[in-house]
Amino acid sequence: MNTQEFFNILEEHSDKSLLFQYMPGQLVGANYHITEVKHVSVASVDCGAREDSWKQTVIQLWESPMEIGKTEFMSCNKALAILNTVGKIRPYINQSEVFFEYGNALFHTAQLGVAGVEIHGSNLMIQLATQKTACKAEDICGIPQTSSAQSGVNNCAPGSGCC
């Protein structure tokens, strides 16, 4: 999901509470705050020596230990107000993919992509998911379309020209 799509969903459901599900059945606590928004520029080189670049918006969610037990979630309207304030200081690249940085005592800190959006009564639930790593130079490395992880074979062997 890109940044503008996320903002549009918040606007469309501004009267709803904003919940984040980071694992099936596991919600970011109602005591969460939006503590930072990162405008990230990535410049990379893959194992096939190809360059790439892209932009990301990373919204950090943090659970306040001072508000443990809080039951009322932030509204979409409040989240949008926070994000709009950020955008006035440092404009968004609206087409950039949006990620959420989150972690707690039981879940390692990670940047999570949006896997889905659900409406549950007066709640807007953003379903988050981790993304697996992948070889971006499969065509150069000769990795077949069927996953090498499934077959247990390492196709990026030393001397193969990749990885």
Q: What is the pTM of this model?
A: 0.86
pLDDT given for residue 149 in this prediction: 46
Residue 57 has pLDDT above 80, yes or no: yes
Helices 76-89 and 3-12, interaxial angle, to 10°? 140
Domain boundaries, the chain: 3-131, 133-163
Per-residue pLDDT, averaged over 126-147, amounts to 81
Query: How many helices and strands (H and E) does the chain possess?
Result: 4, 7
Q: Is the pLDDT of residue 101 over 90?
A: yes
Task: Band the pLDDT of 151: cuts 50, 70, 90.
Answer: very low
**What mean pLDDT, rounded, does the chain reach?**
90
**Using an 8 Å Cβ cutoff, are 79 and 44 in contact?**
no
Q: What is the pLDDT of residue 152?
A: 47
In this structure, the number of other CB atoms found within 10 A of the CB of residue 128 comes to 22
**Sign, Cα dihedral of 131, 55, 95, 100:** positive
Whether the CB-CB separation of 96 and 54 falls below 8 Å is answered with: yes
